[in-house]
Chain A
Amino acid sequence: RKEVEQDPGPFNVPEGATVAFNCTYSNSASQSFFWYRQDCRKEPKLLMSVYSSGNEDGRFTAQLNRASQYISLLIRDSKLSDSATYLCVVTYNDMRFGAGTRLTVKP
């Protein structure tokens, strides 16, 4: 079983749509959780941290369920500029990346 699993997609959605990504992790001792965004041929950039209480940053909402070892990312009112690959990242002693979920937002 992979340490961090994501649905690779691709997700093709129209502008304004709401889209949700899911991620599961295998190490129950994992300490920190993040969503990163990676544009084609670029380095990953931190999108947001994920807390058990859930957190929201504008159109983005992240949730963590430690009992189910499950992380989610919700994007509301999708923009064309949201098109990217979204990486679920889990840390224990170091960062472990999911393979990423590709999102394409179309006009």
Chain B
Amino acid sequence: GAVVSQHPSWVICKSGTSVKIECRSLDFQATTMFWYRQFPKQSLMLMATSNEGSKATYEQGVEKDKFLINHASLTLSTLTVTSAHPEDSSFYICSARDQASGRVYNEQFFGPGTRLTVL
């Protein structure tokens, strides 16, 4: 199946610093990638949809100036959490849509996630 990687897998940082998370589709091209956030015992919440070569579309309530998304190539999207605070501590998961796949309509493949802890 299609593989999506994320880096780093976990990060601990001080309050006020910025953290960049990378999401890569390893064996397919993804014109669309998605960024989710999951707090403990809660569902995945879509933060934004990242389209290659254009600006990301953010969900209501997600600050675009705080969560910077760049999708500069068909295989890489980055999420930068700027001036991170303890309340930003969460599990961040990206996914990519393999639009060439005919197996499952609209199937997305998920990265392994990045656990962010802000002290």
Residues of chain A touching chain B, judged by Cβ–Cβ distance below 8 Å, are 4, 31-32, 34, 41-46, 49, 87, 91, 94-100
- 18 further interface pairs, Cβ-Cβ under 8 Å (given A32-B104, A43-B110, A45-B110): A31-B105, A31-B106, A32-B105, A32-B106, A34-B107, A42-B112, A43-B112, A44-B44, A44-B110, A49-B104, A49-B105, A49-B107, A91-B106, A94-B46, A95-B106, A95-B108, A96-B46, A98-B43
Complex CA gap A95/B59 in Å reads 12
Interface size on B, residues (CB 8 A): 21
Please name all residues of chain A whose beta carbon is closer than 8 Å to the beta carbon of B36 when the two chains form the complex: 97
Residue B42 at the A interface, CB < 8 A? Answer: yes
Considering the complex of A and B, which 4 residue pairs feature the smallest CB-CB distances, nearest first? A43-B110, A99-B43, A97-B44, A97-B43
